[in-house]
Amino acid sequence: MTQIFFEDRENQSPEQRETDLMSRLAPHLQQAIKSCPGLAAHLKGIDVSAVTSRRALAELPVLRKTTLMQAQAENPPFGGFADATQLSGTRIFMSPGPVWEPQPPGLDPWMSARALFAAGIRSGDRVHNAFSYHMTPGGFIIDEGARALGCLVFPAGVGN
């Protein structure tokens, strides 16, 4: 039988998906503010255990890029917005600004395998990855997702 979905949760009803997402949101935020002092300072005075709906999520203050860049300049490289204990063996990227971004840990940390699967890519396929593999994450996002699917990757991003 042909696999239609990458994972079972893709076949959830919208109501199940919403319940699942919102049940994980507050615990995720609670852990994040424990391990990321920059985020804890940004959300100071907010009861993140009450963030259990999209409405509550929308009430959180937006972190402006200029604020993040200032925090990163004062406390390099991530300004207290990343848990350094989780970054061993990963990468650091730079986006315009500059803003320094850590690669999340684990195989396919951006979960791009799901998108590639939806596009029809399957284990054993050869993937020609034309994204850059330099200081931006695009090349690695596609590379790691394709490899997580079991593909052979041809890294063909542009040179310097």
pLDDT for residue 1: 63
Residue with tokens 């195989």: 107
Q: Bridge-partner residues for 129, per DSSP? A: 155
For the entire predicted model, the pTM comes to: 0.83
Rounded Cα distance, 97 and 15, in Å: 38
pLDDT for residue 160: 53
Residues 6 or more apart whose CB falls under 8 angstroms from that of 50 comprise 26, 56
Q: Residues in the chain with pLDDT < 70?
A: 1, 159-160
Rounded Cα distance, 33 and 40, in Å: 5
pLDDT in tens, 116-141: 999 999 999 999 999 988 888 899 99
Q: What is the 3-state secondary structure (H, E, C) of 78-109?
A: CCCCCCHHHCCCCCEEEECCCEEEECCCCCCC
Rounded Cα distance, 80 and 44, in Å: 14
